[in-house]
Structure 1
Amino acid sequence: MFGLFKSNPSKKLRKTYDMKLEQAMHAQRKGDIKTYSMLTAEAEKIWAEIQEIEGKEK
């Protein structure tokens, strides 16, 4: 019953992850491979955090 008002930490991280991937896609389309690789690396770190959080929830 009280879980209804509990925030989901992975939801915010997933939103950030999706945003980073979108930024990386736009950088790649512009031909900025350095920025693309940096944003992709950041997205991978965020994905690892998401996996860790979801692993603890189960």
Structure 2
Amino acid sequence: MGWFTKKTEKEKLHDRYKKLIEEAHKLSHSNRKASDLKTAEAEEVLKQIEALS
């Protein structure tokens, strides 16, 4: 069934990346500097995902 399976590290990082990108997009409408910081943080997470591949 898979209800209680744990997420892999890669899946956790992917979820975090997606959340950061969404936050950056929302912030881009009101606070460009904060949006840029979230985007940079998302890029670091993406590098970690690529390192696991």
TM-score under structure 2 length normalisation: 0.84
Q: Larger Cα Rg: Structure 1 or Structure 2?
A: 1
Q: 1:39 to 1:6 in 2, by over 3 A?
A: closer
Task: Name the SS of the counterpart of 2:28 in structure 1.
Answer: helix
Aligned length: 49
Deviations 1:5-56 (A, max 9, x none): 67521000000000000000000022x10000000000000000000001xx
Match of 2:15 in 1: 15
Q: Which has the higher helix share?
A: 1
Task: Name the % identity.
Answer: 27
Structure 2: segments with no counterpart, 5+ residues: none
